[in-house]
Each structure stands twice: as C-alpha cells, then as structure tokens.
Structure 1
C-alpha cells in the first residue's frame, strides 16, 4: 500500500510539473483575422519558428472584431501564457487588451499593425510609409506627370492603413498626381470590387489605382476588367494571389511584405524577452517591389 501511495504521489507531482513546464513554454498569437492570406502566412511563420525553438504556440482569431480581440487576450491571461504576439484589429481599440496583459505582467509584442497605447515590448513590421511612397513612384514612372489616381484604403483605425496612405499621399504631392478619390474598402476583396465599380462610374478618367493591400487590388482588377478600361493597379503585401496576378499581367505591381518573416521574428523576439534578453523597440522587415 505504501509503495502504491508513493507511486500515486509521484505521478501527481510529475503531472503538476509537466503542466507548469507547458505553461512556461507557451506563447500566444492573436491575429486580427485568418480570413486573409497575408495573416495566414504570418501565422505559419510563427508556427514554424515556435516548433524550431521548442515553444507551444496558441493562435486565436479575432475575426476583425475588437471585442473578440479583447476576450481572446482575457482568455490567454487566464490560461497563463508567458508572452502575447498581437496583430491588432484596430490600433486604438487594442490598447485595452494590451493593458490587461500588462497588468498580468505578460510581455506584449505587436505584429504588422501598431498600438496607440499600452506597454509594448517591440513592434515588428514593414515600413508602411515607405511602401506607400514606392507604390506612388511606380505609378508616376508608368503613367507620367499629373496621373489621375484613386486609392482604396484599408480598415480605418489600423496603423497599416494610416501609414500606407500617408506614404502614398507623399508621392501624390511629390509627383503632382491628381487624386480623384480615396475610399475605404476594409482590406477586403469583395469590398474592393464594389468600391472600385462605384469609383469608376464617378471617375471614368481614372488612370491608376493604389490599393492598400492585395485583396482589395484583386477586387479592383475585376472591376477594371469588367469596365473594359486599361487602368494600372498596384497592390501591397506580396501575397501569393497578388504575385500570381502580377505574373499574369493583370496587376501592375505589389509592394511585397514578408508575412512569414514577421511571424517568425515575433516568436523569436518573444523567446528572447522570456530569456531576459534585450530587443529593439522596433524591428523592421524589408519590402520589395514585385513586377512582371
């Protein structure tokens, strides 16, 4: 009986230790939406790096809903994860979620989109402003002076939409472009199609379109093709669909981010933080122009 009791006690101690070790090795990733190829690639990059480094990775989808994002973070705090990577649905709204993690002393790292508040260890993203300028320069090089352009904006309130728009507007000013319209299509392909149809109807002399992500660009292409017009479309992100459209010649160019690298660097940076190592406040990921 004593031997049996000792075996049970040892098993309980072993189970408790394993659970503690698992919690200690768990990093979480909260993604704005997994209904977008860009963020799916980011998730895959994080998963590969977590596996390589020996961490368990929990991935939660906020479905582009700030309230869902908040509940995801609250759940992760209760589960005792050791670090949270978050790709915000909205740069302002995410502040409350980050502060909840801060109160629990859980380090937070932002990916692709920044946060307006809360304590963030590091932000890992491409230089969206530079990318917007690259898109504008490409349009100017292809169309020439005084190009008549429209812009499809991403989700209002996200740093990515704000910064890409800021960069593009710098190019509009630098190259004296004629900005006919700039409207949101929420980084969504179907909305990109619908908004572009309306913009073409009210701006028939449009020569070029800058879409702040490839999904909207792919929607815009369908609207352009249906109109029978020859209009240059430039996207942003360098997704598989965007690059394929460039190769076909339907998309003029895409400013390629490296979502897998952003996810990978997120996990790598979180691992450093958990080991007590210093990380830079901002970790840039390089951009490149994809053309045919």
Structure 2
C-alpha cells in the first residue's frame, strides 16, 4: 500500500514538472552587478550614495563659491556626496590631488581648470580604473572625457562690443588678462580680432596675474596705471577678462575718483552684481554663465556617465550679457537676475528625464 502511495506521489511530481516547463517557467534571473558606477537594470536608484571628487586649480572669490554650491546641490539631489580638493593655483598639487582621488576610489571626478600637461596622465589613469571624468575650462583631449567650456569668445565679443559702442569707437583702453588658462586664451582670440577691427581704439596698458589675492594685486597694479595716466581722457575704459580683475580695478578707479573710466568684465557672482548695480561703481557690464548652473550641468553629465549614457566630447555653455541699464535700482542677487535678464540661470543643459526623476529634495 505504501509503495502504491509513493508511486502516485512520484507521478504527480513528474506531471507538475512537465506542466511548468510547458508554461515557460524559468528560474529567477539574477540581476547583473554594477561595476564602478555603471548602470544596472534597477535604474537610477543604483546611482545613490556616489562619492564625487571636485579637483580645482584655484578656489577664489564668490564665483568659485557659487560654482561649488551648484556642484554640491546637484550631487546631493542625486543622493551623493562631494569632496573638494583645491590646489591654490599649484598645478603639481592639482595633479597630486587627482591621483589621491583615484587612489581613494571616488566614483566620479570633476575637474575645474588646470592644464593638459598637469592632468592628462591622471585622467587616463582614472579612466583605466573605470572612474568617469567631466572637466570644466581645461583643454584636455582624452577620448571618453567630456569637457565643458563657457562661450568664452562670445563673452569677450559681447563686452567688447558694448565697450566700443559706449566709446563711439575711439579712445584708450587698459586690458587686464593673464595667459595659461584655456578660457583666457579663448577670450584673447576675440580680443585680438576686436582690436584688429577697431583701429580707433588703442591699448595703452596691459597686465594681469592669477594668485590667491588676485583682486588685491590687480587693485595695486591698477593704482600704478592710474598714476602713469593721471589726466582725464588718458584712459577711457578697462576690459577685464575675469571678475577678480574687474573687482580690483573697480576699487582702484573708485578710490582715485576717476569716475570717467568704465569697466567691462567677464563672469558674474552676487558680489559682482552688487558692484555693477552701484551707480558710483565704474564696473558697468559683464558677460557670464551662471556659476551655479556650470556646477549643476557638469554634475549632470558625470551622472550620465555613471548611468552608462554616451556624452559629447565638448559642451559649450551659453553666456548672457548683463549691463547696469537692465537692472533695477533696488539690490538683487543672481538668484533673481532671471527676472530682469533673459536667459540667466535655470539651464536645462545636461538634463535627462531619468535624471529629473532620480532627484530628491535637498534640505538646506
């Protein structure tokens, strides 16, 4: 009797197995493991808790502060954490910081300025370790690395065109500029083309150096220039290729009472905007990309890399021209600038639908 029961039970098991096979039932598939931040079949949730390194050549002034704020805001919205490495302008230290980030096994690396000579070896090492890299304002040409740049030539053209219009195409100017930075070199191309075309405008002095005290150093140098050209009409305007230059020059001109000299700059931060809005300040116009947007956009492309998406080799950010006559009499911040200047802030560059869905509110 027991043997009969065992036979019947065995037959039922066999029938059940055959039925399952006929219905196409299969063992549950195991999800593939993520490798170094690559996307998994579970989607954007797999990108939480990423460690992001921001490797900076120099962290100086309110522009850099707002840029870092944009980086951190976007990373935190995607559930990650940022560590900032700054080199105080020392390229050897910047290269060492990049190596440190690789050795500490960060999930992604952002680079801010620097040179190809100092960074390319480290960037290639990062890619070998499957760590994605997104750079800003550095002339790196390594396959697989996306490089962001502001529309530097366009920014120079916008400010120089305004300078020329305000001067009626003639007068003496001072150029404040420094070599050795990719964005500066691009701005210089536009400056040279402008000077070649506008023969009524003469450059009477040129200087500029990047340091941890750029604004103060510029102020001292501008004071010396003003003593060299003491008379009204000796200098009509100053073209400053960086907001730190514009700050220093503005303070020197204002303190000297040379209110006839106007400044046309590049870049924009809350401090810069406050100066441009001041009717007693010689700084009257600037062209820029929102520094917070630069940080946000750079992070978005890094997370696209982490997600396994293809990204372009070069991204050009669209600049905006800001002049005093566009602004209200009451003081505003860059967060309010979009209410008065079309195209400022809230850029959608680098956004994908899955990125928007992956974002979470950040507690301030």
Please confirm whether the aligned pair reaches a TM-score higher than 0.5, indicating the same fold: yes
Match for residue 255 of structure 1? 287
**Structure 1-normalised TM-score?**
0.85
Match for residue 157 of structure 1? 180
For the 8 Å contact 1:214–1:242, the answer to whether it is kept is yes
**Residue 24 and residue 50 in structure 1: after superposition, are their counterparts in 2 closer, same or farther (change >3 A)?**
closer
Shift of 1:24: 7.4
**Residue 170 and residue 141 in structure 1: after superposition, are their counterparts in 2 closer, same or farther (change >3 A)?**
same
Which residues of structure 2 form unaligned runs of 5+?
1-36, 38-45, 325-364
For the 8 Å contact 2:115–2:140, the answer to whether it is kept is no
Distance of 1:93 and 1:200 partners within structure 2:
37
For the 8 Å contact 1:22–1:56, the answer to whether it is kept is no
Task: Please report the RMSD computed on the Cα atoms of aligned residues, expressed in angstroms.
Answer: 2.3
For the 8 Å contact 1:28–1:84, the answer to whether it is kept is yes
Match for residue 140 of structure 1? 164
Match for residue 8 of structure 1? none
Distance of 1:263 and 1:68 partners within structure 2:
22
Match for residue 109 of structure 2? 84
Match for residue 58 of structure 1? 83
Bigger drift between 259-268 and 51-60 goes to: 51-60
**3-state secondary structure, aligned to 2:93:** helix
Is the radius of gyration larger for structure 1 or structure 2? 2
Distance of 1:282 and 1:144 partners within structure 2:
37
For the 8 Å contact 2:208–2:245, the answer to whether it is kept is no
- 1:232-251 matches, cutoff 5 A: 232-249=262-279, 250=281, 251=283
Structure with the larger helix share:
1
**3-state secondary structure, aligned to 1:114:** coil
**3-state secondary structure, aligned to 2:287:** strand
**Residue 41 and residue 142 in structure 1: after superposition, are their counterparts in 2 closer, same or farther (change >3 A)?**
same
For the 8 Å contact 1:212–1:236, the answer to whether it is kept is yes
**3-state secondary structure, aligned to 1:125:** strand
Shift of 1:125: 2.3
Cα shift readout 1:168-217 (whole Å, capped 9, x = no counterpart): 22222222221122212327101211221222233441111011111211
Shift of 1:39: 1.4
**Structure 2-normalised TM-score?**
0.69
Match for residue 150 of structure 2? 126
Match for residue 316 of structure 2? 284
Match for residue 20 of structure 2? none
**3-state secondary structure, aligned to 2:186:** helix
**3-state secondary structure, aligned to 1:252:** strand
Give the alignment partner of residue 47 of structure 1, picking from 61, 66, 72: 72
For the 8 Å contact 1:25–1:55, the answer to whether it is kept is yes
Distance of 2:191 and 2:261 partners within structure 1:
18
Match for residue 327 of structure 2? none
Distance of 1:192 and 1:239 partners within structure 2:
18
**Residue 105 and residue 24 in structure 1: after superposition, are their counterparts in 2 closer, same or farther (change >3 A)?**
farther
**Residue 77 and residue 266 in structure 1: after superposition, are their counterparts in 2 closer, same or farther (change >3 A)?**
same
Cα shift readout 1:3-36 (whole Å, capped 9, x = no counterpart): xxxxxxxxxxxxxxxxx98997222111222232
Give the alignment partner of residue 94 of structure 1, picking from 97, 105, 119: 119
For the 8 Å contact 1:189–1:219, the answer to whether it is kept is yes
**3-state secondary structure, aligned to 1:254:** strand
Which residues of structure 1 form unaligned runs of 5+?
1-19
For the 8 Å contact 2:239–2:263, the answer to whether it is kept is yes
